[in-house]
């Protein structure tokens, strides 16, 4: 038996590695590769999943560890930090998507319970996928990135409540009675565990963290114990794992715990999605294509539109509304877990799982490309989005500048722009700083520095800045597409200012020079050149290196003082 399971896992992982390699080439999240591998490994194709019971246990552990890690990043204290816009947008999108999804399912003949499950499954977006995509785009610190992460956290908190409502013993109990009993019991459990998390977990983990191996052992045991407690109390194991993670989020070592558990989660979660794919049935799936297309359109178009409308009503620019809206244009792991639990409780059939899984593949694939190429998509639809934007001053413009002309425009302050700015002031006082981090802009404005919030990849912003009137433009943004856009805007002007962008790739440098850029700054090569020069000059004279060290420390202290002064 053991040898059979081992052989099956070997074949399954070999298949998964191949499929996921293709997904990487297509710039798609690996979750799609996992699901497709499950379909291929299932009875419809290679029939590699014979040891169903064993793989199912592994799969459930994968769900538990996944939700445990989600909970680790849901410290309740963050609720105060996500802001009104994230709360209103997060709740609003969940409510409107649920209503629209329910009405669509009812119109297409699904039962009430099936319609509720499907509608709720459509509301959740993948925090894990969006975090990865925004991180790859270096957009986590942008305003829209912060808002998006905020309302995704709101969705995760709503998911905790829904998972707790799915009690295994709920069959045969009236809906209202079941909800009331579960809500009261759940509130008592959460309050009790919350007190443990607040007062007990921090000092305990501080002591345990002295041994890394013991910390990992404790964390796994904690997840399993709390999940088992929830199971005994007739809640779902998955809800228990999520709450276990939230409790450990109070620990000062939550990030270290997360990094330790991720490899374990990655192993088991692969088996969950493979199990998910292998359970899909395609008998009547052709008849469900209209439903799949409608639901996919609701998520890919309807969800972003809801966010754009809500943010527009709150006074945000159409660009931030559009960028944030794209982050909800897919369903999440929660959606698939919800449907799986519904099947386990006897509320749904495998056909519903197949429908939602296909919708997931379509929307995750589509939204990934939409988010990656949002900067290129936006100019084409910007005019249509004006309808959803309130007239007058926007609350996210963060414009602290006069309407005069600027001799120098600096894109990006917190990178090398910090050092460059001090030199620029010596040659021209008329400087404008443009940065996509609203906190940086507010700090600069408090110091009397002319600045404005904006993304250099926004064609409309570049037109508004009248870059043709500047004598010099510096971009500390290493993204080649952004710098190429600025260069093309400069080439279209009558007067062409000096343009100094930053790049980290040699291939990109040649492309920028072909475009007519004045000079490309390469920080890594400049640093390497300086070190090489020092070695050639000082050779083995340790005293000389120590003097350079003292100069370096003095420079870093001065820079830190300047940063601290900016934060005041």
Whether residue 336 is found in the same domain as residue 405: no
Residue 386 included in any domain: no
Whether residue 362 is found in the same domain as residue 435: no
Residue 203 included in any domain: yes
Whether residue 368 is found in the same domain as residue 403: no
- pLDDT for 3 equals 60
- The phi, psi pair for 113, rounded to 5°, reads -65, -40
- The phi, psi pair for 501, rounded to 5°, reads -90, 165
Residue 567 included in any domain: no
Sheet holding 498-501, edge to edge: 399-400, 451-453, 431-435, 408-411, 472-475, 498-501
Q: Looking at the predicted structure, is the pLDDT value of residue 301 above 90? A: yes
Residue 511 included in any domain: yes
- pLDDT for 300 equals 93
Report pLDDT digits (tens) over 487-509: 998 888 888 899 999 888 888 88
Report pLDDT digits (tens) over 184-216: 766 777 777 777 777 777 787 777 877 778 888
Average pLDDT over residues 19-34: 84
- pLDDT for 518 equals 92
Q: How far apart are CA 402 and CA 218, in angstroms?
A: 58
The larger pLDDT score, comparing residue 362 to residue 438, is at 362
**Tokens 């998507």 belong to residue:** 97
Whether residue 420 is found in the same domain as residue 299: no
Whether residue 444 is found in the same domain as residue 508: yes
Residue 185 included in any domain: yes
Domain holding 43, by residue range, is: 2-372
Whether residue 418 is found in the same domain as residue 493: yes
- pLDDT for 2 equals 54
Whether residue 147 is found in the same domain as residue 239: yes
Residue 239 included in any domain: yes
Report pLDDT digits (tens) over 310-361: 998 888 888 889 999 999 998 887 888 888 888 887 888 888 888 888 898 8
- pLDDT for 79 equals 55
Whether residue 409 is found in the same domain as residue 260: no
Q: How far apart are CA 362 and CA 486, in angstroms?
A: 34
- Count of the separate structural domains present in the chain: 2
Whether residue 366 is found in the same domain as residue 470: no
Average pLDDT over residues 433-462: 83
Q: Identify the weakest region by mean pLDDT among 264-268, 311-315, 518-522.
A: 264-268
Whether residue 426 is found in the same domain as residue 316: no
Q: How far apart are CA 292 and CA 278, in angstroms?
A: 19
Structure tokens at 177: 């009675």
Residue 382 included in any domain: no
CATH code of residue 33: 1.20.1530.20
- pLDDT for 284 equals 67
Q: How far apart are CA 182 and CA 100, in angstroms?
A: 26
Strands (E), 381-504: 399-400, 408-411, 431-435, 451-453, 472-475, 498-501
Supply the mean pLDDT for the chain: 81
CATH code of residue 446: 3.40.50.720
The larger pLDDT score, comparing residue 536 to residue 83, is at 536
- pLDDT for 71 equals 76
Q: Looking at the predicted structure, is the pLDDT value of residue 568 above 70? A: no
Whether residue 241 is found in the same domain as residue 341: yes
Q: Identify the weakest region by mean pLDDT among 63-72, 166-175, 244-253, 335-344.
A: 166-175
Residue 535 included in any domain: no
Q: For 296, left (φ over 0), alpha (ψ -120 to 50), or beta?
A: alpha
Q: Looking at the predicted structure, is the pLDDT value of residue 174 above 60? A: no
Whether residue 354 is found in the same domain as residue 501: no
Which among 521, 541, 557 is the end of a domain? 521
Of 97, 141, 138, 86, which Cα lies nearest the Cα of 119? Answer: 97
Q: Identify the weakest region by mean pLDDT among 257-266, 281-290, 527-536.
A: 281-290
């Amino acid at each position: 038996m053991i040898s059979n399971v081992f052989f099956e896992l070997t074949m399954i992982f070999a298949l998964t590695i191949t499929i996921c390699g293709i997904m990487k080439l297509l710039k798609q999240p690996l979750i799609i590769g996992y699901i497709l591998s499950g379909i291929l490994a299932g009875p419809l194709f290679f029939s590699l999943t014979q040891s169903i019971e064993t793989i199912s246990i592994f799969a459930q552990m994968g769900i538990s560890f996944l939700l445990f890690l989600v909970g680790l990043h849901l410290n309740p204290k963050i609720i105060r930090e996500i802001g009104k816009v994230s709360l209103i947008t997060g709740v609003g999108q969940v409510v409107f998507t649920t209503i629209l999804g329910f009405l669509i399912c009812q119109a297409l003949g699904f039962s009430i319970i099936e319609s509720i499950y499907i509608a709720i499954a459509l509301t959740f977006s993948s925090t894990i996928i969006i975090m990865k995509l925004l991180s790859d785009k270096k957009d986590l610190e942008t305003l829209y990135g912060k808002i998006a992460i905020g309302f995704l956290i709101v969705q995760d908190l709503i998911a905790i409540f829904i998972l707790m409502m799915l009690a295994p013993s709920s069959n045969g109990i009236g809906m209202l009675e079941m909800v009331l009993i579960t809500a009261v019991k759940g509130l008592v459990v959460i309050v009790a565990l919350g007190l443990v998390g607040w007062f007990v977990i921090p000092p305990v983990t501080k002591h345990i963290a002295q041994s890394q191996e013991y910390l990992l052992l404790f964390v796994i045991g904690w997840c399993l114990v709390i999940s088992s407690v929830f199971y005994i109390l007739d809640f779902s194991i998955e809800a228990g794992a999520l709450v276990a993670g939230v409790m450990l989020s109070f620990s000062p070592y939550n990030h270290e715990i997360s990094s330790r558990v991720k490899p374990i989660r990655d192993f088991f979660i692969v088996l969950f999605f493979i199990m998910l794919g292998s359970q899909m049935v395609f008998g009547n799936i052709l008849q469900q294509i209209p439903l799949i297309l409608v639901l996919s359109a609701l998520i890919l178009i309807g969800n972003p539109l809801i966010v754009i409308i809500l943010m527009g009503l709150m006074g945000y620019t159409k660009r931030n509304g559009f960028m944030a809206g794209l982050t909800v244009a897919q369903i999440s792991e929660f959606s698939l877990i919800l449907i799986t639990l519904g099947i386990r409780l006897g509320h749904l059939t495998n056909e519903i799982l197949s429908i939602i899984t296909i919708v997931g593949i379509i929307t995750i694939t589509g939204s990934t490309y939409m988010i990656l190429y949002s900067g290129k998509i936006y100019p084409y639809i910007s005019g249509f989005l004006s309808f959803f934007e309130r007239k007058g001053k926007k609350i996210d413009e963060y414009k602290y500048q006069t309407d005069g002309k600027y001799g120098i425009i600096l894109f990006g302050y917190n990178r090398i722009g910090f050092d460059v700015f001090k030199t620029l002031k010596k040659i021209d006082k008329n400087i404008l700083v443009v940065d996509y981090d609203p906190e940086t802009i507010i700090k600069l404005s408090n110091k009397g520095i002319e600045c404005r919030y904006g993304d250099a990849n926004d064609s409309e912003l570049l037109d508004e800045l009248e870059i043709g009137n500047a004598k010099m433009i510096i971009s500390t943004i290493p993204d080649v597409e952004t710098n190429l856009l600025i260069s093309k805007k400069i080439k279209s002007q009558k007067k062409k200012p000096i343009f100094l962008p930053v790049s980290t790739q040699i291939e990109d440098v040649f492309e920028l020079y072909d475009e007519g850029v004045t000079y490309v700054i390469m920080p890594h090569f400049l640093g390497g050149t300086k070190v090489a020069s020092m070695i050639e000059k000082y050779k083995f004279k340790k005293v000389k290196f120590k003097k350079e060290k003292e100069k370096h420390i003095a420079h870093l202290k001065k820079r830190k003082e300047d940063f601290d002064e900016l934060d005041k």
